[in-house]
Structure 1
Amino acid sequence: MNVVARPRKVRVIAGIVAVILLAAFTVAGLLMLRTHTGAYFTLSDQLAMIGIGLFLAAGALWFTRPRVRADADGVEVRNLLGARHFPWTEVEQVSFPDGSPWARLELPHDEYVPVVAIQAIDGEHAVTAMRELRRIRREAGTPAEHG
């Protein structure tokens, strides 16, 4: 059995922000030729303005990237800058420290990996994702969790 979790509220907010940015820069680009500021705008200026909107919208959507995927073999954590797979034998604990914005995988030697896909702001969705992640880890034959 697999578990896949993604943040919910951040995905919604990022989508809304991306649409607003794209719409605002597209409207600004289309209206550039009609302004009476004394500046001379060309088609390339309009396209550049729309391009900036596309670039900023893509940047906003970048925050929808986090995901955690777990199965009996291990857990793959994809955060903003990359993805890594950890076999369950390397994961000492799946925790959600008090006051932390997201969960984390506790690794040997006091190291940890943030799991940005499971965020405190998501409330019950985060609780369910943590339960499922811990269940899969338990079924994989790893020691019990505390925390």
Structure 2
Amino acid sequence: MSDLPSLPVTFRPSRTRAVLLGAAAAIFVVVSAVALLLDRLGPGERLSFVFTAALFAGGLLMLARPKVVADDSGVTVVNFASTRRLEWAEIVQVNLRVGDPWVFLDLTDGTSLPAIGIQPGIAKEQAIAHAGALRALVEARSGDPRT
């Protein structure tokens, strides 16, 4: 069990996140600059450009939000618009099958929870390593009498 990551550990799609954060910043700056540089625009039109840029950037920031945080007491899954806290004992299995867009956690209540913070999109090897580390943590912690 020496290959287990030390807790707390955060799993997130770092390359995807970097692209999304960069795109959000670039869109906001470029559209806002265009609004300020166009002489023909009135104050209301300039404001609408900046507001629209902020909406697009906000949407990209929401897409960059997912992560999975494992600590001593359990796992917190942060998806696009929701956050769910799980105790270690609630997680039955960690799945990342070929073709899956992200990891799925099988839970003791019979449901499956998507953990979008571990996704093989741009960095397949990183996602496989993160899924394996989370799987090992779940296996090591599920038998822990403290949980």
TM range (shorter): 0.7 to 0.9
Q: Does 1:18 align with 2:24?
A: yes
Task: Please tell me the residue identity of whatever aligns with 2:55.
Answer: F
- Do the aligned partners of 2:16 and 2:64 also contact (CA within 8 Å) in 1? yes
In 2, the alpha carbon distance for the partners of 1:92 and 1:138 equals: 9
Runs of 4+ in 1 over 3 A off after TM superposition: none
In 1, the alpha carbon distance for the partners of 2:53 and 2:128 equals: 36
TM-score normalised over the length of structure 2? 0.82
Q: Does 1:3 align with 2:9?
A: yes
Report the number of matched residues: 137
Task: Report the secondary structure of 1:120's partner residue.
Answer: coil
- Give the superposed CA RMSD: 1.9
- Do the aligned partners of 1:72 and 1:136 also contact (CA within 8 Å) in 2? no
- Do the aligned partners of 2:96 and 2:128 also contact (CA within 8 Å) in 1? no
2:3 aligned partner: none
In 2, the alpha carbon distance for the partners of 1:70 and 1:106 equals: 16
* Greater displacement, 105-114 / 92-101: 105-114
The equivalences for 1:4-83 within 5 A come to 4-34=10-40, 41-83=41-83
Task: Flag structure 1 segments of 5+ consecutive residues without an equivalent.
Answer: 35-40
Task: Please tell me the residue identity of whatever aligns with 1:79.
Answer: N
Return the offset for 1:13. Answer: 1.8
- Do the aligned partners of 2:62 and 2:81 also contact (CA within 8 Å) in 1? no
Task: Report the secondary structure of 2:118's partner residue.
Answer: strand
Task: Report the secondary structure of 1:98's partner residue.
Answer: coil
Larger radius of gyration: 1
Given the superposition, is the C-alpha separation of residues 137 and 89 from structure 1 closer, same or farther in structure 2, using an over 3 Å criterion? same
In 2, the alpha carbon distance for the partners of 1:75 and 1:120 equals: 20
In 2, the alpha carbon distance for the partners of 1:15 and 1:89 equals: 34
Given the superposition, is the C-alpha separation of residues 94 and 142 from structure 1 closer, same or farther in structure 2, using an over 3 Å criterion? farther
TM-score normalised over the length of structure 1? 0.82
